[in-house]
Structure 1
Amino acid sequence: MTIRAIPGYRLPTDPARAGGKATQGFVTPKQDRTPQVHSIPPRRVLPIIFLPGIMGSNLRMSAERQDELKKKNNIAWRPDNLRECLGMINATPAERQLRLDPAASVVDEYDPINNPTGDPNETSDERNESVEVDFWYRLDVTVDSPLLKDDPYGSKARKMKEQKARERGWGEVFFGSYRELLEMCEKHLNTAFFGGKMDSWWKQVVDVDPATWQAHMQPALKPLDEQSLRDALRGCWFPVHAMGYNWLQSNRDSGKLVANRIRHLMERYKVQGFQCEKVIIVTHSMGGLVARAAIHPKMGKLQSEVLGIVHGVMPAIGAGAAYKRMRCGFEDSTFDAAPKVLGNFGDEVTAVLANAQGGLELLPSQAYGNDWLRVTHKKETLKSLPKTGDPYEEIYKLRGAWYALLREEWINPAQREKDSSFKATCALLDKAKAFHNAIADTYHDQSYAHYGADFRNAAWHRVSWSIMDAAHVADVETIRIVADTRQGELHVVDRSHPSPAGKVGPQFVTCMTPPGDPGDQTVPLHSAEHQLRSGKFKGVFRQSGYEHQASYKDESALHSTLYSLVRIAQTMRWSK
C-alpha cells in the first residue's frame, strides 16, 4: 500500500456511508486556510493466503473421542500449547492413534460465538491467546480498511486487533513457528510507502541482488527496484490470512477444502465492498502439496483465482525422512517440541501415520527415482530399492521383509475394529500413489520457491541400513528381526545360517545411518530440486542455514519470500 501524506485536518469517515467515500466537514473562520482532507481508502484487496506444513495446523477432536479419552478439552494437536505438548510426550502409541485420528479430527478454527473448545470454561479467545499483534502500522488510517487495528472506542461490536488476526486464521496454525512470516507480510506489504517515501525497512529487499538470498542462476533474477515496488503495491491492500487443514487426511481433500475457503473469502471481501479478483498463496512444506491440489483442474479447480504461489521447503516428490521416521521415530529438535510429541520412536509415529493418508503422501513418490533405500555391509551395497520405479509395491506394501516400511504390529495399537490394519494402510498407500501421480507436473505458472541445499543440515535422500562389519551375511532376504530399539537399531539373525535345533542363530546389529545428503534435515535437495528441474518456476532460491520447521525464521527465506510476492503482485491486471 502507498499512502501520500496531505497536510490538513483529517475528516472522520463512516465506512457504512457510500463505502467509506462520504464524510462531513466543518465550518472554520476565514483566516483558517488549512484544508480539510477526506481520505478514501483503496477498495482493492489482494489477499495473501498462508498454508502451513504437516503438524503446522491445529486440530481438535470430536466430542465422542474427547469422551473416550476423558479429556478436559478437545485439543488433538496444538504445538503452541505447552501443557498439551508435555501431556503427549509420554503418550502410548495407542493414545496417539486415538488422539490423532483423521476420521475424528478437524481444524481447530476460531469461533468466539460458539466456542467449540470442548471445555465450558474455555472461550475461543482463550484457546487462541498465543496469537498476539504487537506490531504497529506507520499509517494513521481512520477509514475502513483490512488492517489489523483495534476498532475505535464506542464502535458497534468493537473488535481488537488480536481478534481480527484470529478471524484471519492466525490461530489455526503453529503461530510460534510462523509468526515472523505472517507479521512481516502483513506489516510491510501494507506500509511500504508513506508520504511518498519508501519505508527504510524495504532497503533489505529493494536494490538487493537476489544472489544475496542464494537465488539460482536459472532463471536469472534481477534486483527489485523502488519504482517496481511502488507500482506493484499501489492502491491495494494485502491482508494476510492463514488457513489450516487436517494434515492427517489426504492432501487431495485438503486442497478441495482450501479452494472452497478461498472462494468464500474472496466473496466476503466483495460483499464488504472491496474489489477482490485474485489471491497469492504462500506455503510451507506439505502446504505446497495442498496448494498444488487446490489449483489442480480435477481437484480444487482454483487456478484462475490464484495469481501466483510461493513454495517454501516443499517435499515436491516426497522425502526419505518419512520412511526413516516411521521406522525410527522423529529426531529431537532444538526449535520445537513437535517431533517429541508426535513420537521419538518408530512405533509411535507408525501408529499415527500408517492410518493417515496425509502423512503417507510425504513418502517418496515414483518421481523420486530408484535405489534410494539401501542395505549396506562393509561399504558394499547388498540391496537397493526400488528397482522398477514403484516404491509403493517394492517397499511400502511389502510384507514380511525386515526393511519394509511397515511393521504390522505397530499399525493398530489401539485395537480399532475397522479402518486400521495392514490392508487398510495399503489402501491408503494406493490413494497416495494416485495423488502423487496426479499432481506430479502441477505447478502454477507464476511460482517461486526456496528450499534448503545445505550439507550442514543434511537430510535423507537415500536411506541406508548398515550391517555391522563383523557380521557374516549370507542372504539379506533371510534376515529376521529379533529386537528393535524403535530408534534405528535392529538386532537380527540370518536364518540361512545353520543353528542348533530350537535355538536362534548368531545375532548381529544393523543400524539406520545418519543423513548424508544436502537439504534442511527433513526435505532433501533431491526432492525440492524437482521444482527447478520442472522448468516452470519464475525464481528458485537454493538456501542454507536453516532447519525445516524453522525456515520462516530465517532472514534469507523471509526476504526471498517478500521479493517473490512483489514479483507476483507485479503481474496483477485488474479488470477495472
Structure 2
Amino acid sequence: MKEPTRPIPQPTVDTDGSLVAYTVATPTAFKVRARVTIGSRKVIPVILVPGIMGSNLRARANMKARKDDVLAPGEPAWRPPNGVVEGFWEARKWAERSPSERQRILDASILEVDPDGQLAFAPSNVDPRMLRERGWGEVHAGSYGALLIDLQRHLDKTFQVSPRGDREIRHFWLRVMQSQAASWGVRSIEKVTEAELEKYAGYQYPVYAFGYNWLESCEKSARRLRTRIDQIKKFWTERKHECGKVILITHSMGGLVARACARLSSPGDGSAPDIAGIVHAAMPALGAPVTYRRIACGTEGGRYTNGLGDNLKAGAVTDIAGESAADTTPVMALSPGVLQLLPNHLYPKPWLHIRTIRSVNRRDDVRDFLSLPDGSPYDLYRDMKSWYRMIDPDLADPARRFEDSERSVVDGISDAIRDAEYFHTELLTLSDGKNGQTPYYHPNTYAFHGADKSLKAYGQIRWVAREPSVSPAALTPSSIRKGNLKSITDQGAREVRIGQDLQLRFSVWPEDAHGDETVPVQSGAGPTAHIRKMFAPAGLRHQDSLQPETMRLLIRHLIVKIVQDVQ
C-alpha cells in the first residue's frame, strides 16, 4: 500500500545549484512521508509589473533629511491599504494631510521602492524569505496577492499520476482548457492542448513581482525593470539552471513600463528576445482623460449607479488621492510618471470639449464652442494660463520647494511634461519611414481590457455651463477661449467671466465612455491591431482586473501560448 505524504515548503536553490528543503523531525511511529516538488532545470521566470500606486514606496534609506521633511530616512511613504478596515484608517489619515504634506511625502526625488510590504497573503508552503527576495513585498497585496498566489500554486504543476498509474492533467489546468471564449470577451479562442501542456511542463516558472517608483518617469522604471530581469537571469544561470527568457504580466501603468523596457532591451530593435512575451491587463495604451480631470478638479467620488459599498470605496480613494485640485496638483503636476498617463498624441482627438446649455422652447439646447486639443496635446498640458488649463502653477508648490531654487515651479512642471511627451512620441512610438507613426509593442503581446457599458470611464472631458435665460453677451468660440477664471469651487467647478457682463459656471460632466471606471474603451482597445490577440471581458473593474478567477485562468492560458514560441 502506498504510504501517505505531506507537502513541505518548496526547496530553495543554493549557490552551487543544489536544492535545499527543510522539514522537522518526527517520531518513528509517524509514517507520513514528506513530499517536496522539484522543478525543471530550465527556467522561465514570470514577473508581475503592477499599476500606478500599486508599488510600496518609502523615503530613501540614504536620504539627507531636510528640516521640513515629513518622513525620516527609510520610513514608509505609501503602502496601499488591504481590506476595509485598513482602507478606512488610511483614508482618514490622508484626508487630514495638507497639500504641503502631500507634496513633501510623495516627492519622487526622495522615494524608493519599499520591499517590506505585507506578505500575510502568501501560501504557507513557501518560505517568506524567498518571496521577499522575489519582490512580493514590493507590491500591493490587496490588488496582486490573489494572482501571485494563483501563479505560485499552479504554474509548476501540470500533470499528475492517477490512482491507476496513468498520467493525467491536473484539474486546475483542465479548467483553463475548458474555459469558454465568451467568459474572456472574445468570439473564439484556440484552446490549450495537451501537446502544448507537454512543452509547457518542460520548464519551471518562479514567480516574481517588480515594484517601481510610479511618480518617476516610466522610462526610469523601465530601465530598472531591465536591470531586474538581468539579475534574475543571472541568479538562475549561476545556480546551474538554464534561464534565457522571462514572461511579463502587467497591470495598468505597468504595461507602459514593460513596453518601454522591451523597447530599450538589447539589441535595441524592439525584438527584446529575452522577453518571451507580455500580457497586459487594463493598460491605458493611449492614455486616460481621467488624469486631466484629477489634476484639474481633484479625484472624482462615487457614482449614483453604484451600490453603497462601491461608493464607500470610491470615497476612500478620493480622500487618499485628493479631493480637490489643491490636493492633487502638488503631487501629480510634478510627477512625470503620472503625466505619462495623460492622453497621448495617438489618442482620438478632440477629447476636451467646452459647451453651454441654453433653454430653447422649454428644451435644453447644447452648444459646442471649443473642441481641443486642436494641435499637440502636450501644448494643451503646457498651457497654464487659460481658464480651462489642467495645471494651476499657483497650487503646485505649497511646500515651497522651488522658493530658493534657480528653477521655478513652472520649469519643474514643463520638464515633467517634456518627459511625458518624449516617452509617448519617441520611446513608445515607431516611425514607418513615411511620416506615419504606430505604437510599439513587443512582438509576442496579448492584452485584455474592460469595455463594460455600466462601468463608465472618461473618454472625453466636457466642461459645460448653463447660460442664463437672458444673456447679456453673445457667446463665440473666441469669447469662450478668452474667458477669465474668477474662482474654483471645492468640487472643481470654475466661475468664468466672459466679456464684461457674463459669468458662467463650468463643471465637468460625468463619465461618458464604456470602460472599467478608469480606462475608456478607446484607450484600452488601442493595442488591438498591433498585438497577437485582445480580450474584452464584461464586468472588469480597473483596480480589480487581475483578481477575478476568469482572468487568472486567462493569464495561465496565455502563458502556455507564449511558451510555445520558446526555442
TM-score, normalization by structure 1: 0.80
Residues 230 and 431 of structure 1: CA distance in aligned 2, closer, same or farther (over 3 Å): same
Q: 2:156 aligns with which of 173, 184, 190?
A: 190
**Deviation readout 1:492-545 (Å, 9 max, x if unpaired):** 221x13xxxxxxx4533211000111111111111122101xx33111101221
Q: Which residue of 1 aligns with 2:418?
A: 430
Q: Which residue of 2 aligns with 1:385?
A: 372
Residues 20 and 89 of structure 1: CA distance in aligned 2, closer, same or farther (over 3 Å): same
Equivalents in 2 of 1:518, 1:9: separation in Å? 51
Residues 9 and 351 of structure 1: CA distance in aligned 2, closer, same or farther (over 3 Å): closer
CA contact (8 A) 1:207 1:225 kept: no
Q: 1:483 aligns with which of 476, 484, 487?
A: 487
Equivalents in 1 of 2:15, 2:381: separation in Å? 62
Q: 2:300 aligns with which of 331, 344, 348?
A: 331
SS across alignment from 1:282: strand
Deviation at 1:332, TM superposition (A): 3.7
Equivalents in 2 of 1:331, 1:319: separation in Å? 14
CA contact (8 A) 1:351 1:412 kept: yes
Deviation at 1:8, TM superposition (A): 11
Deviation at 1:263, TM superposition (A): 0.3
Equivalents in 2 of 1:197, 1:487: separation in Å? 60
Q: Which residue of 1 aligns with 2:99?
A: 93
Between Structure 1 and Structure 2, how many residues are aligned? Answer: 498
Q: 1:259 aligns with which of 221, 226, 243?
A: 226
**Deviation readout 1:60-84 (Å, 9 max, x if unpaired):** 1134458633546611111137355
Deviation at 1:241, TM superposition (A): 0.3
Q: Which residue of 1 aligns with 2:250?
A: 283
CA contact (8 A) 1:66 1:74 kept: no
Deviation at 1:107, TM superposition (A): 0.9
Equivalents in 2 of 1:185, 1:58: separation in Å? 21
Q: 2:444 aligns with which of 439, 443, 446?
A: 446
**For 1:476-555, what aligned pairs fall within 5 Å after superposition?**
476-494=480-498, 496-497=499-500, 505-532=501-528, 535-555=529-549
AA in 1 matched with 2:494: L
Deviation at 1:39, TM superposition (A): 8.7
CA contact (8 A) 1:320 1:363 kept: yes
AA in 2 matched with 1:491: E
Deviation at 1:344, TM superposition (A): 1.9
TM-score, normalization by structure 2: 0.81
Q: Does 1:178 align with 2:121?
A: no
Deviation at 1:456, TM superposition (A): 0.8
CA contact (8 A) 1:52 1:173 kept: yes
CA contact (8 A) 2:45 2:245 kept: yes
SS across alignment from 1:458: strand
Deviation at 1:274, TM superposition (A): 1.5
CA contact (8 A) 1:182 1:240 kept: yes
Q: Does 1:228 align with 2:213?
A: no
Equivalents in 2 of 1:298, 1:192: separation in Å? 31
Deviation at 1:483, TM superposition (A): 2.2
Residues 567 and 478 of structure 1: CA distance in aligned 2, closer, same or farther (over 3 Å): same
CA contact (8 A) 1:372 1:461 kept: yes
CA contact (8 A) 2:39 2:156 kept: no
Q: 2:282 aligns with which of 297, 305, 313?
A: 313
Equivalents in 1 of 2:330, 2:267: separation in Å? 30
Deviation at 1:408, TM superposition (A): 1.8
Deviation at 1:106, TM superposition (A): 0.9
**Deviation readout 1:453-485 (Å, 9 max, x if unpaired):** 112111111110011143746221232222212
Equivalents in 2 of 1:95, 1:299: separation in Å? 41
Identity %: 31
Deviation at 1:340, TM superposition (A): 2.6
Structure 2 unmatched runs, 5+: 22-34, 162-166, 303-309, 358-365, 430-438
Residues 178 and 243 of structure 1: CA distance in aligned 2, closer, same or farther (over 3 Å): same
CA contact (8 A) 2:265 2:272 kept: no
Residues 228 and 101 of structure 1: CA distance in aligned 2, closer, same or farther (over 3 Å): same
SS across alignment from 2:388: coil
Q: Which residue of 2 aligns with 1:79?
A: 80
Equivalents in 2 of 1:369, 1:14: separation in Å? 50
**Deviation readout 1:526-565 (Å, 9 max, x if unpaired):** 1122101xx3311110122122111112233322222111
Residues 340 and 570 of structure 1: CA distance in aligned 2, closer, same or farther (over 3 Å): farther
SS across alignment from 2:506: strand
AA in 1 matched with 2:289: G
Q: Which residue of 1 aligns with 2:331?
A: 352
Q: Does 1:239 align with 2:206?
A: yes
Residues 300 and 404 of structure 1: CA distance in aligned 2, closer, same or farther (over 3 Å): farther
Equivalents in 2 of 1:511, 1:19: separation in Å? 63
AA in 2 matched with 1:531: P
Q: Which residue of 2 aligns with 1:113?
A: none
SS across alignment from 1:543: coil
Q: Which residue of 2 aligns with 1:122?
A: none
**For 1:8-407, what aligned pairs fall within 5 Å after superposition?**
19-20=17-18, 41-62=39-60, 63-65=63-65, 68-71=68-71, 74-80=75-81, 82=86, 86-109=92-115, 127-134=116-123, 149=126, 161-195=127-161, 196-215=167-186, 221-232=189-200, 234-297=201-264, 303-332=272-301, 334=310, 335=313, 337-378=316-357, 379-388=366-375, 390-393=376-379, 395-407=380-392
AA in 1 matched with 2:123: D
Equivalents in 1 of 2:411, 2:16: separation in Å? 61
Equivalents in 1 of 2:398, 2:36: separation in Å? 66
Give the root-mean-square deviation of aligned CA atoms.
2.9
Equivalents in 1 of 2:216, 2:266: separation in Å? 15
Residues 330 and 135 of structure 1: CA distance in aligned 2, closer, same or farther (over 3 Å): farther
Residues 38 and 193 of structure 1: CA distance in aligned 2, closer, same or farther (over 3 Å): closer
